[in-house]
Amino acid sequence: MKIVLLAPPSVEAHYTASLLVRGFTAVTIPPDVPSLDFPMLMQDYLKHDGCLLISDDPHSVEIADQFVLIGKPVWRCLAEVPRVAAPG
């Protein structure tokens, strides 16, 4: 499963590794995405399974709100993210 990680760069690696342990692939949004390209890229990000919001940055909150609008989960701390069952 893939989720979008909305976290400050200073903690991004920690959360990416923690999500991997839980069975998720973390997808991050590059900070240098041109604003004209963002709507097109957002459609790709909304195809993921959910969103982990660790930032109070207004842009990140806006992205998380889009997940809520389409009925996908938004977790606000790592403890809320479920573990993915191991294939078997």
Tell me the average confidence (pLDDT) per consecutive run of 10 residues in the chain, 88 residues long.
Answer: 92 95 89 65 87 90 90 95 72
Domain ranges of the chain: 2-80
DSSP single-letter state for residue 38: H
Return the pLDDT at 20. 93
Residue 61 parent element (H or E): helix 58-69
This prediction has a pTM of 0.85
**CB distance 63 to 86 below 8 Å:** no
CATH class of 2-80: alpha beta
Return the pLDDT at 40. 74
